């Protein structure tokens, strides 16, 4: 359980560091400060094993999107997002473990969870970073078509999930 | 918030926004989210099938006897990356040791077991239906599996082995037993002298009486002992009982009723039970061990309740055989007298086992002069109440709860009930 908390704090710290670095280039002191405050509050509650991750996660995500609108360096934003996802997951997992503090918890489960989050976030970062190297010129019509495809695809996925879950 | 919905919405929004504004940053940022969601869907897509089994070391136990509960979950589907469940204990069931919840990964066919030990006070405890939850490691796709898993523990009342309670109902049954039947015949207790009949044993001939009448022979007659119908009435009206944080008079009444039922059933009598409280619950009269189990099960569930009718007049009289023995276990209220007189006038033999509320309360009050005076007045009122019952031919055992029930019953055995009342 301690390893999960430690991983949570490291992920959150990494995410905040990347976010601060991204805003630092644009001298966005206020955004940096807000991000650090949200992160500190989240870290404190997460360390105690309390569930407050969704609001903090959304707050930091909003800052990230704001950074994307300001055209901040994408690599920092990508690093921050990937670490943020890891922190979000680990925060919840930590709280879940606290609920079972008086029950049986398989140590293998904790190890597998940490492995999975490491590989998923790693793959996300690598895929995102690789995408930065690819440049495709899209016309407006193609973009709309792709948007429609995404819409139809996600709607289908949602239908599938609602039918199966 | 549902993680799948949240992440899917974010992913969808970022992609659409990126395409709309032709800003690649948003599309790049959407990629880790897509990976996250897809991983969850891939690893959490299969429908979980879990079989659960709850085993209890005992389901009918005496008070404070520990019961070990073992719940085994077996995965009957593909690998379950995360499965968790928590067995919620019924209120008043105290966990002594072990764990009631678990969180684990289960390979196909693998099982996980939670084991814990509980103990409880008298009562019937039903376990709530159990649910298990499953998800992938990242918690993206979560499912709840209802496991139709019941189970209950009945904690039976304490039973004390008591000496035989002397009762004399007017009507007995045709089977041999231990209750004097007011009829001459084979027996032990001398009943009377009658003229010699062919077939009488020589030992039965009363030589002294025969010597006084030279041309006649007389034989001793003995009182037959038969089984009887006994109706136990347990007063479950809340207003009849006093209770402190640690003790309740009601528990004493339940113990007394259980002990009486066991004693009479062991002697071969037919015993029924009526619980008169919030509602009337009856256990139809019967014999033997099965009937004992029925009565104990009923007593395990007994609890004092607020009665809709606050006196005993709605007691189902026809439940009891005519002119049989009725034993009422109740601290008694003044308004109960009339109903008890009616029972008596209908020919029932009535014995009242009455836990003494005055001595019970006095034991929990400070030893001060006003308390002593109040206690004395209450005691006098109670004596008057019990005397009225005795004058109507109702036998009363005024049970001081500082005495064990088996000791209190001895006063019935040794002498008359009046003696018992006067001395307690």
Q: What would the pLDDT profile of B28-58 be if each residue is shown by its tens digit?
A: 888 899 888 888 888 877 788 888 888 899 8
Q: A116 Cβ partners below 8 Å, 6+ apart? A: B39, B137, B138
CA–CA separation, A100 and B116 (whole Å): 15
CA–CA separation, A59 and A93 (whole Å): 20
CA–CA separation, B168 and B157 (whole Å): 27
Query: Which H or E run includes A116?
Result: helix A107-133
Nearest residue to B357 (alpha-carbon basis) of B339, B384, B330, B337:
B330
The alpha-helical segments, DSSP class H, found in A26-103 are 29-47, 53-69, 74-99
B217: left (phi over 0), alpha (psi -120 to 50) or beta: beta
Mean pLDDT of B68-76: 90
Structure tokens at B40: 């969850």
Mean pLDDT of A46-63: 77
Reported as a pLDDT band with limits 50, 70 and 90, residue A51 is: low
Longest dimension (CA), chain B: 137
Note whether A97 contacts B103, CB cutoff 8 Å: yes
B85: left (phi over 0), alpha (psi -120 to 50) or beta: beta
CA–CA separation, A97 and A103 (whole Å): 9
Note whether B39 contacts A120, CB cutoff 8 Å: yes
Mean pLDDT of A102-127: 85
Any idea what the Cα angle at residue B27 is, between residues B23 and B32, rounded to 5°?
150
Residues 86-105 of B with CB under 8 A from A: 86, 99-105
Reported as a pLDDT band with limits 50, 70 and 90, residue A135 is: confident
Interface predicted TM-score (ipTM) of this complex, two decimals: 0.84
Q: How far is B102 from chain A (nearest CA, A)?
A: 4
Helix then strand then coil, % of chain B, to nearest 5: 35, 35, 30
- Report the Cα A5 to chain-centroid distance in Å: 16
pLDDT single digits (tens) B116-157? 999 888 888 888 888 888 888 888 888 888 888 878 899 999
CA–CA separation, B162 and B58 (whole Å): 26
Alpha-carbon distances, residue B203 vs A69, B190, B208, B220 (angstroms): 119, 13, 13, 9
Q: Which residue has the higher pLDDT, B223 or B283?
A: B283
Q: What is the pTM of this model?
A: 0.72
Q: What φ, ψ does residue B124 adopt, rounded to 5°?
A: -115, 125
Note whether B19 contacts A103, CB cutoff 8 Å: no
Nearest residue to B118 (alpha-carbon basis) of B70, B73, B51:
B70
Asked if the C-beta of B138 comes within 8 angstroms of chain A's C-beta atoms, the answer is yes
Name the residue of chain B whose CA is nearest to A128's CA. B28
Strand B325-329 relative to strand B229-235, pairing: parallel
Alpha-carbon distances, residue A163 vs B11, B45, B111, B294 (angstroms): 21, 11, 28, 49
Nearest residue to B250 (alpha-carbon basis) of B261, B259, B238, B258:
B238
pLDDT at B271: 92
Mutate to test the interface with B, among A51, A128, A153 (most CBs of B within 10 A): A128
Mean pLDDT of B269-291: 89
CA–CA separation, A93 and A86 (whole Å): 10
With a cut of 70, say whether residue A142 has pLDDT above it.
yes
B410 touches B388 (CB < 8 A): no
Q: Which of A108, A127, A150 sits opposite B105 (nearest CB)?
A: A108
Q: Which of A74, A116, A151 sits opposite B137 (nearest CB)?
A: A116
CA–CA separation, B117 and B87 (whole Å): 12
With a cut of 70, say whether residue A34 has pLDDT above it.
yes
Mean pLDDT of B167-172: 82
């Amino acid at each position: 359980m301690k390893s999960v908390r430690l991983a949570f704090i490291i992920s959150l710290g990494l995410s905040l560091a990347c976010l601060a670095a991204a805003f630092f280039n644009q001298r966005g002191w206020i955004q940096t400060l807000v991000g650090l405050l949200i992160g500190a509050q989240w870290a404190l509650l997460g360390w105690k094993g309390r569930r407050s991750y969704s609001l903090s996660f959304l707050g930091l995500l909003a800052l990230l999107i704001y950074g994307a609108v300001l055209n901040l360096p994408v690599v920092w934003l990508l690093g921050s997002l990937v670490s943020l996802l890891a922190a979000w997951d680990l925060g919840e997992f930590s709280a879940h473990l606290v609920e079972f503090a008086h029950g049986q918890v398989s140590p293998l489960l904790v190890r597998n969870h940490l492995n999975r989050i490491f590989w998923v976030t790693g793959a996300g970062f690598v895929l995102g970073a690789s995408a930065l190297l690819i440049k495709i010129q899209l016309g407006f019509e193609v973009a709309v078509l792709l948007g429609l495809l995404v819409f139809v695809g996600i709607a289908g996925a949602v239908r599938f999930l609602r039918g199966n879950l | 918030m549902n993680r799948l919905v949240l992440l899917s919405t974010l992913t969808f929004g970022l992609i659409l926004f990126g395409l709309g504004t032709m800003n690649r940053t948003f599309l790049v940022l959407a990629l880790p989210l897509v990976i996250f969601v897809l991983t969850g869907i891939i690893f959490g897509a299969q429908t979980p099938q879990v079989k659960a089994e709850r085993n209890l070391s005992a389901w009918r136990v005496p008070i404070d006897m520990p019961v070990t509960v073992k719940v085994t979950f077996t995965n009957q589907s593909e690998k379950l990356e995360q499965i968790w469940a928590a067995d919620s204990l019924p209120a008043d069931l105290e966990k002594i040791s072990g764990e009631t919840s678990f969180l684990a990964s289960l390979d196909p066919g693998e099982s996980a077991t939670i084991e814990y030990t509980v103990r409880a006070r008298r009562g019937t405890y039903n376990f709530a239906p159990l649910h298990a939850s499953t998800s992938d490691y990242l918690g993206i796709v979560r499912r709840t599996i209802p496991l139709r898993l019941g189970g209950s523990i009945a904690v039976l009342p304490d039973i004390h082995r008591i000496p035989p309670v002397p009762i004399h109902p007017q009507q007995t049954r045709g089977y041999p037993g231990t209750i004097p039947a007011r009829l001459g015949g084979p027996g032990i207790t001398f009943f009377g002298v009658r003229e010699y009949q062919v077939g009488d044993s020589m030992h039965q001939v009363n030589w002294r009486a025969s010597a006084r009448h030279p041309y006649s022979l007389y034989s001793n007659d003995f009182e037959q002992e038969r089984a009887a119908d006994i109706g136990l009435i347990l007063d479950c009206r809340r207003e009849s009982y006093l209770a402190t944080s640690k003790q309740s008079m009601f528990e004493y009444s339940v113990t007394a009723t259980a002990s009486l039922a066991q004693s009479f059933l062991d002697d071969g009598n037919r015993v029924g039970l009526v619980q008169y409280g919030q509602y009337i619950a009856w256990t139809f009269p019967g014999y033997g061990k099965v009937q004992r189990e029925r009565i104990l099960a009923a007593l395990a569930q007994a609890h004092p309740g607020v009665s809709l009718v606050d006196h005993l007049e709605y007691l189902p009289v026809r439940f009891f055989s005519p002119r049989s023995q009725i034993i009422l276990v109740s601290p008694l209220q003044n308004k109960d007298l009339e109903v008890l007189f009616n029972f008596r006038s209908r020919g029932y033999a009535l014995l009242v086992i009455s836990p003494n509320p005055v001595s019970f309360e006095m034991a929990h009050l400070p030893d001060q002069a006003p308390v002593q005076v109040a206690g004395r007045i209450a005691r006098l009122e109670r004596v008057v109440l019990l005397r009225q019952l005795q004058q109507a031919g109702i036998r009363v055992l005024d049970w001081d709860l500082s005495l064990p029930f088996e000791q209190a019953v001895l006063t019935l055995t040794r002498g008359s009930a009046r003696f018992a009342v006067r001395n307690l």
